[in-house]
Amino acid sequence: MKNVEIFKIENGYINKKIDPGINVIEEIQSLRKEKNAVILAHYYQESEIQDIADFVGDSLDLSRKAATTDADIIVFSGVHFMAETAKILSPQKKVLIPDLMAGCSLADSCPAEEFSAFKEQHPDHMVVSYVNTTAEIKAMTDIVCTSTNAYHIINSLPEDQKIIFAPDRNLGNYINSITGRNMVVWQGACHVHEEFSLERILELKKENKEAKIIAHPECEKPVQLVADHIGSTSSLLKYTQENDANTFIVATESGILHQMKLASPHKHFIAAPPKDSTCACNDCKYMKLISLNKIYNTLKYEQPEILMEEKLMKKAEVSIRRMLEISDKLGI
């Protein structure tokens, strides 16, 4: 393998000016081939990134791809916990993230030390954690889940099994309501999904009477209650393809609208508006830190790289593998 130049990472990424004469997309394509690299992108990425990615998907799909790819390098176009999950599942591969500052407010809302103390207060409980957590939390978890398989994973456990669900309170409460369980729910939340305005969604519905309201389970309960369908990003996408309606009011991060439009070009998609009309709060500021230029520099200089202690990775791997095994068994 050729040696690559080492650049200092500033503010989380390689801030190296790109020659304006080059075509960044073409360069990414040739670097990808030359280095046997794969670009995995979450549905919340910018459209132009989704268009050049080898694979676009939700967090469950992406973890499966990360576990099975035969590429030497994974460039993760998404947020830090997703890249960490990829590294844990493919420790022998080089996993790169174009911007280390691409975090997650939900993962941040569950600090390891506080969670460890919380767990100690519930010694007879099993821990099921949403994938939007740090590796430290996954290492304290029995089974990881995503919004696609959370319901099935919880349902696969004995009815009398006591459970701590972390970190998203809206997803946890939603699963409690549809399964009749009484899980102890960690009070974490996502800054994007808790910002949707019920009032403004209802105004839109009044103007578009035939529209279906669809929402991610990370949204607050009032938004969930008016939704015609609640589901993960891939479930929302599927619903827009299969439902006869022509208009959809979409209460999740706006990046998913790109795949919805590609899949159903004749249909109309309206991004649900946030409470604060002066900001684009339905954009995840962390997801949107990733750009084509940063992907190019990351592929070229093979930095920033996701690295973790082996002991931590091994511990966290157990709970992620359990999720993949249960999902495979249940055909999800």
- Looking at 63, 129, 132, 240, which residue binds ligand 13P (CB under 6 A)? 132
* Comparison of 227 and 284: residue with beta carbon closer to ligand SF4: 284
> Interacting stretch for ligand 13P, rule CB under 6 A, among 142-150, 170-178, 201-209, 259-267?
142-150
Per CB under 6 A, 257 contacts ligand SF4: no
| 128 within 8 A of 154, measured Cβ to Cβ | yes
Q: How many CA atoms lie within 13 A of 60 on its CB side?
A: 22
Contact partners, residue 160, CB within 8 Å, separation at least 6 = none
Residue among 149, 144, 194 at smallest CA distance from 169: 194
Residue 105 interacting entry, from ligand 13P, ligand SF4, none, C-beta within 5 to 8 Å by type: ligand SF4
**Which partner, ligand SF4, ligand 13P, none, binds residue 146 by CB below 5 to 8 Å per kind?**
ligand 13P
87 Cβ contact list (under 8 Å, min separation 6): 93, 95, 306, 307, 308, 313
Within 90-119, which residues bind ligand SF4 (CB under 6 A)? Answer: 104-106
DSSP 159: T
**Window 18-57: contact mask with ligand SF4 (x via CB under 6 A):** ----------------------------------------
Q: Report if residue 272 touches ligand SF4, rule: CB under 6 A.
A: no
Asked if 213 touches ligand SF4 (CB under 6 A), the answer is no
Q: Are strands 229-230 and 212-215 parallel, antiparallel or unpaired?
A: parallel
- Identify which of 274, 286, 289, 110 has the alpha carbon closest to the alpha carbon of residue 194: 274
284 is an interface residue for ligand SF4 by CB under 6 A: yes
Q: Which of the listed partners (ligand SF4, ligand 13P, none) does 286 bind, with a CB threshold of 5 to 8 Å by partner kind?
A: ligand SF4
Residue 33 has which token pair?
A: 């081939």
DSSP string, 21-50: TS-HHHHHHHHHHHTTEEEEEETTS-HHHH
Query: Minimum CB separation from ligand SF4 for residue 69, in Å?
Result: 22
- Establish if 220 lies at the interface with ligand SF4 (CB under 6 A): no
Euclidean distance between the first and final Cα of the chain, in Å? 38
| Residues contributing to the site for ligand 13P (CB under 6 A) | 58-59, 132, 146-148, 190, 218, 232-233
| Residues contributing to the site for ligand SF4 (CB under 6 A) | 79, 104-106, 132, 190-192, 253, 284, 286-287
